[in-house]
Structure 1
Amino acid sequence: MDNFRLVFDTVLELNGTDNIFGIFYVMNLILAIIAYELGFAKKLPIIKKIIVYILLLIGVFILTIFSTVMRMPTVESLIVINLVLGIYRTRLHFQRKAKNQNA
């Protein structure tokens, strides 16, 4: 299982154990926001959007505990999720563009 923690090992080597929770919290938060926007975001009123992001902040805190304390590869998983969702959105964009040109 040590092979799957490339990001954790790299951050640990570069920064030591100082502020590792904060570093992983920010990384997880950024990647989770990107994944949310790519895959699940809909047009919402501002109040509902604020509530969604507050819940995302809380959820990422729990996810960071898994990432740092239990040393699970959550950052690496979020990177893969973002890559897959990015590819999906790109293909969807090109399919819609082709469909509009044919119509």
Structure 2
Amino acid sequence: MTGSFSIVLDYIVANYGVQNIFWKMYIINLVLSAIAYKLGFARKLSLWKNVFVYFMLFLGNYLTTIFSIMKMPMTESLVIIVIVLTIYRTRMYMQRKAKNASS
């Protein structure tokens, strides 16, 4: 098995080249991480606490991007996390809507 597990990285390299690959992957990972945080873990926080959380997310994505460039499936894992959390949130919304309609 000589294939790569990093489908997103391979796609970007094949279509856009390797110029600025770190920043392209960093932005993709940052957006996916922010969506995953918002869907799964976000609570109502004050403005400064929210700024701090997103700043730490901004810094922490550096390591995730390095792993992505090393052809580990970090971006693909984030995509799967976002899909699963979206399905979960949609089901919860539908259940609450049905519960409120029956009450």
Report the TM-score, using the length of structure 1 for normalisation. 0.94
Tell me the CA shift for residue 71 of structure 1: 1.3
Task: Name the count of aligned residue pairs.
Answer: 102
Which residue is equivalent to 1:93? 93
Which residue is equivalent to 1:15? 16
Q: Distance in 1 between matches of 2:62 and 2:3?
A: 23
Encode CA deviations 1:51-101: one digit per residue, 9 max, x unaligned: 000000011111001111x21111111110000000000000000001111
Q: Which amino acid aligns with 1:14?
A: N
Q: Which amino acid aligns with 1:25?
A: Y
Instruction: Using the aligned pairs only, state the percent identity.
Output: 48
Tell me the CA shift for residue 46 of structure 1: 0.2
Q: Which amino acid aligns with 1:27?
A: I
Tell me the CA shift for residue 102 of structure 1: 1.3
Which residue is equivalent to 1:73? 73
Question: Once superposed, what is the RMSD of the aligned Cα atoms?
Answer: 1.1
Report the TM-score, using the length of structure 2 for normalisation. 0.94
Q: Does residue 37 of structure 2 align to residue 41 of structure 1?
A: no
Runs of at least 4 residues of structure 1 off by over 6 A? none
* SS of the residue 2:96 aligns to: helix
* SS of the residue 2:18 aligns to: coil
Tell me the CA shift for residue 3 of structure 1: 4.7
What residue ranges of structure 2 are gaps of 5+ in the alignment? none
What residue ranges of structure 1 are gaps of 5+ in the alignment? none
Which residue is equivalent to 2:27? 26
